[in-house]
Structure formats: structure tokens, C-alpha cells
């Protein structure tokens, strides 16, 4: 499964934001910031990564169905992909 550039753009944007958040967490640690603030930011990054992953799988599935190649879908493979994000 491969995403079109239009479908991958929001996922790429989400990952770029998560990358910026992660850099911010590193800075917070280096500056000795409060653990509670750091954990909150880590939770936000984790959620952003999860949403990007679900968006990737869902977008791929949608494009596969739209292209008429649904008979090529491997339900076991899709299940493993979804479960790997859980």
C-alpha cells in the first residue's frame, strides 16, 4: 500500500509538528524543567504519532478501496498494522 502525495501531506505535517514537540521536550529536559510539564508534552507527542500512524493505515486502506484493488487486501496484514499502533 502506498499513499498519494495528497493523502500523505497531512500525515507529514503531523509528523513535523511531533518532531518539533520532541525537540522541545529535549530542551525542557536539558533546562531542568518540571517533570509534570515534560510528561504532558511527551503524552502529546505520543498521541500525535499514534494519530499519524492511524492516518497512514486508514489513508492507505481508503485509497486501496477507491482504486478497486480491495481484493488484494490482506486482512491479516491490516490487522497487524492496526494492532502495532495499539
Beta carbons of 12 and 59 less than 8 angstroms apart:
no
Q: What is the pLDDT of residues 13-71, one digit of tens each?
A: 999 999 999 999 999 999 999 999 999 999 999 999 999 988 888 887 777 767 766 56
- CA 72 vs. chain centroid, Å, equals 24
Predicted TM-score (pTM) of this structure: 0.75
Amino acid at each position: 500500500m502506498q499513499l498519494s502525495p495528497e493523502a500523505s501531506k497531512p500525515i507529514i505535517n503531523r509528523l513535523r509538528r511531533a518532531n518539533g514537540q520532541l525537540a522541545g521536550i529535549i530542551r525542557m529536559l536539558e533546562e531542568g524543567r518540571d517533570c509534570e510539564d515534560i510528561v504532558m508534552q511527551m503524552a502529546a507527542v505520543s498521541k500525535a504519532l499514534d494519530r499519524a500512524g492511524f492516518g497512514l493505515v486508514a489513508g492507505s486502506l481508503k485509497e486501496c478501496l477507491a482504486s478497486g484493488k480491495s481484493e488484494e487486501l490482506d486482512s491479516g496484514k491490516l490487522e497487524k498494522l492496526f494492532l502495532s499502533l495499539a
